[in-house]
Structure 1
Amino acid sequence: MAKTVAHMTSVHHPFDTRIYHKECRSLQHAGYDVTLIAPETDSASEINILPIKKYTNKFLRMAFSTYQVYKQARQLDADYYHFHDPELLPIGWLLKKKNNVVIYDIHEDYATSIMQKEYIPRPIRKLITKTYKRMENVLGRDMAFCLAEKYYEELYPHGQTILNYPLLDQSLLNKEVSEDVGQPENKLLYTGNIDVDRGAYVQARLPLIDEEITVYFFGKCSREVADNMYETAGAEKDRLIIEGIERYVPREDIDHQYMNRRWLAGLALFPPTDHYKRKELTKFFEYMSAGIPILCSNFPVWQAFIDRYQCGIAVDPQDKADIQDALEYLRLYPEEAAKMGRNGQKAVREELNWQKEEEKLLQWYDELSRKAREIGDEHAK
């Protein structure tokens, strides 16, 4: 019989790219019986989804959604439980048996992220961070850790890194990026969740920095952040297009945008934060797949990435002149911009793709299953 896998999230959208399109689909294609426990959706799915009620209030979600996840998961009695949110740590601990596998998929550096939330008083932030780390150390003792970023290996030396590289989407990779297609449009693209730490207000200033530019955002954005972005752009707010205010933007819609235009650049102009400046952003790889040059902040890790793959330009996100110079360069030298796009596609095709991470994931699942059997056999003696 096929081994059963339950992926669990109370926070992420059921069609989250990493959870649904990469991990769940890869496991399903490899012959696993996969179920996803996630917030309810009306959309059709190729994976069996057990819905839980979605709460907009964070405290209600942590109280009631977590219990619903546990109730659904316990009934499955799965061989693998793979969860994606820190609030599900107690659930993972309750589900752990001697002969099954529980995996905590760490999408973010949560301790650092908590310390950056300036709306929480600093002493409270410290207390929350300490409590979280203590809970993680105690409840996660018998779990396997799946790491979405390279630098998380420093925090979890026994974890398994499964990077968030893109699927090999042939329609994107086959998008022609030649030197003679003419001048790119004066349009910049940003994809993914939109918030302050992800550069919402930095990027909202772009129409004020460059009078020819229109900036398109495709990703979930709160009404408050969107209103503040429009206010930041002031009289130029008509050149700020935000798709995704108070709603999830489906993967298919974002892929369509990658193909829809000849974008001048894909944006990642983030302010400097400990949480993001060491991450290799998933949007980097997606821009590269579509042959779009990257325009990003010049954090050392990001600068090194751009230099290695020659796929864009890194600038000081607080320096208007630096940003303006980069935009002007991309406009004046379309053949160089096209070369950056082709370099990005080549890197994704040959190295930075999910298919290679998929192999690691499947091999790791096999290893975890073997260890669980050995432990079960030991306890049966």
Structure 2
Amino acid sequence: MSGTTAGTPLRALVVTVVHHPQDSRIRHREISALLAAGWQVTYLAPFVAHDLAVPAPADGLTCRDLPRAAGRDRLAAARAARAAVRRLAPDHDVVLVHDPELVPAVAGLGLRHLVWDVHEDPAGALVVKDWLPAPLRRPVAAAWRGAERLVERRHPLLLAEHAYAGRFRREHTVVPNAVVVPETVPPAGGARLVHVGNLTTARGSEAMVEVARRAHAGSDGAITLEVVGPARDEASRAAMEAGVAEGIVVWHGFQPAERAMATIDGALAGLALLRDLPNYRGSMPTKVVEYLAHGVPAVTTPLPLARELVEESGGGLVVPFEDVQAAADAVLRLWRTPEEAAAMGRRGRELVRERYDWAKGGAAFVAALTEVAAARSPRR
């Protein structure tokens, strides 16, 4: 699909103050799809806060730094984002925001061409946000539900999950968390577990280390856990550091998407041990799809969408929530039967290629933004 109108390249302003600048959905799928379609993109993200240099302009992409919103320190990032968007939005056909707090932060600027990419359920996520006092979590969540319906009357939305549609009254384009499916991958096997993604207690970071500990002992020291991703809370950091000290965990921290995905190849299994929390119940853990896309079976807790994918494809094993022994037993089963692990990986990969390949989702994403630009751009 052409990224031009009347010979002029379409321009997108993409903004986040919460996500890592190398976030897979934002940078490596959506922005890459826009650039491939001929768009020009200005990307505002917290590069410096993540110890990254701001990339020089190249190939249609211009990057600019914003402060990072984290914990209770969010006001400065919101103010900086508002000022930057106020200045840059008139020169862009679409303003695409990826954080819930950016929607109220830019309210009143008259941005008819703003699109909110809904990655998660913010109201559901509040139950685990320790930066918000506990007595305020339910009232703020209820207020946010009302705000969402107000936002959808004013702005187009993109939804990362079909399940999110139930929160809204209008129909919105769904751009699922599809992945780039590699052409070829090695078979699953060996004795290396992997986890790719942010580390929090809610995402099972402490449980993963305990699973690795028990699987390591049950395999006479063969099984280890390789982790790619930053720790987002102190408990997760402590768990990872303890696992490294014991020699059962190799922790790489954050890595660019290409290196992170390469870590998955040829592993025994990928761990996705998220807890049973409201924010996760309507979402597909992207890591589960990534493991299967690389031909590696997933060991996952029974969140509805993850369970459905793994059971339908036969691409892994489902274990009870917060049952580290069951997860360790599942890992040991795969280690003892490497042919089963390889077969699971092949089956999961086939289904992901059919349903979750970004080669298909990227076109729908670009088409949705092109439609917004045609109807709402201040440049047209």
Which TM-score band applies after superposition, normalised by the shorter structure?
A: 0.7 to 0.9
Paired residue for 2:4?
A: none
Please tell me the root mean square deviation across aligned C-alpha atoms, in Å. 2.7
AA partner of residue 118 (structure 2) = I
CA–CA separation in structure 1 for the residues paired with 2:295 and 2:11: 38
- Work out which of the residue numbers 171, 186, 206 in structure 2 matches 1:176: 186
- Work out which of the residue numbers 83, 103, 107 in structure 2 matches 1:71: 83
Q: Are residues 336 and 57 of structure 1, via their aligned partners in 2, closer, same or farther at CA, if it must alter by over 3 Å? A: closer
SS in 2 for 1:197: coil
Residues 257-268 of structure 1 correspond to what in structure 2 (within 5 A)? 257-259=263-265, 262-268=266-272
User: Is residue 2:249 matched to residue 1:240?
Assistant: yes
Deviations 1:45-103 (A, max 9, x none): 6553342343476444x322222222222333111111011111134433434xx5210
- Work out which of the residue numbers 162, 166, 173 in structure 2 matches 1:154: 166
CA–CA separation in structure 2 for the residues paired with 1:364 and 1:139: 18
The answer to whether the 8 Å contact 2:182/2:294 transfers is no
Deviations 1:114-136 (A, max 9, x none): 03446754421122213333443
AA partner of residue 74 (structure 1) = R
Paired residue for 2:25?
A: 18
User: Is residue 2:316 matched to residue 1:304?
Assistant: no
Residues 88-127 of structure 1 correspond to what in structure 2 (within 5 A)? 88-97=102-111, 100-117=112-129, 120-127=132-139
SS in 1 for 2:153: coil
The answer to whether the 8 Å contact 2:42/2:64 transfers is no
The answer to whether the 8 Å contact 2:55/2:63 transfers is no
Q: Are residues 141 and 93 of structure 1, via their aligned partners in 2, closer, same or farther at CA, if it must alter by over 3 Å? A: farther
User: Is residue 2:288 matched to residue 1:284?
Assistant: yes
Deviations 1:214-240 (A, max 9, x none): 112110114723443158769x83212
Residues 30-109 of structure 1 correspond to what in structure 2 (within 5 A)? 30-40=37-47, 41-42=52-53, 44=55, 46=58, 48-55=61-68, 58-60=71-73, 62-76=74-88, 77=90, 78-97=92-111, 100-109=112-121
Q: Are residues 225 and 122 of structure 1, via their aligned partners in 2, closer, same or farther at CA, if it must alter by over 3 Å? A: closer
SS in 2 for 1:220: coil
User: Is residue 2:184 matched to residue 1:195?
Assistant: no
Paired residue for 2:5?
A: none
Q: Are residues 232 and 277 of structure 1, via their aligned partners in 2, closer, same or farther at CA, if it must alter by over 3 Å? A: farther
Deviations 1:13-65 (A, max 9, x none): 222111111111111211222111112331646553342343476444x3222
Q: CA shift at 1:4, angstroms?
A: 1.5
SS in 2 for 1:93: coil
Provide the aligned length of Structure 1 versus Structure 2.
359
Paired residue for 1:181?
A: none
The answer to whether the 8 Å contact 1:92/1:102 transfers is no
Paired residue for 1:186?
A: 191
Paired residue for 2:362?
A: 358
TM-score by length of 1: 0.85
CA–CA separation in structure 2 for the residues paired with 1:205 and 1:151: 32
Residues 203-352 of structure 1 correspond to what in structure 2 (within 5 A)? 203-210=208-215, 211=217, 212=219, 213-222=223-232, 224-229=234-239, 237-244=246-253, 248-259=254-265, 262-352=266-356
SS in 2 for 1:130: helix
SS in 1 for 2:327: helix
CA–CA separation in structure 1 for the residues paired with 2:125 and 2:364: 27
CA–CA separation in structure 2 for the residues paired with 1:86 and 1:20: 18
Q: CA shift at 1:302, angstroms?
A: 2.5
AA partner of residue 105 (structure 1) = D
SS in 2 for 1:275: helix
Deviations 1:345-371 (A, max 9, x none): 222333211121112112222332344
SS in 1 for 2:108: helix
Question: Which deviates more, 146-155 or 132-141?
Answer: 132-141
CA–CA separation in structure 2 for the residues paired with 1:82 and 1:55: 17
The answer to whether the 8 Å contact 1:202/1:270 transfers is no
Q: Are residues 166 and 55 of structure 1, via their aligned partners in 2, closer, same or farther at CA, if it must alter by over 3 Å? A: closer
CA–CA separation in structure 1 for the residues paired with 2:352 and 2:193: 21
User: Is residue 2:167 matched to residue 1:163?
Assistant: no
The answer to whether the 8 Å contact 1:37/1:73 transfers is no
Q: What percent of counterpart residues are identical?
A: 25
TM-score by length of 2: 0.85
SS in 2 for 1:205: helix
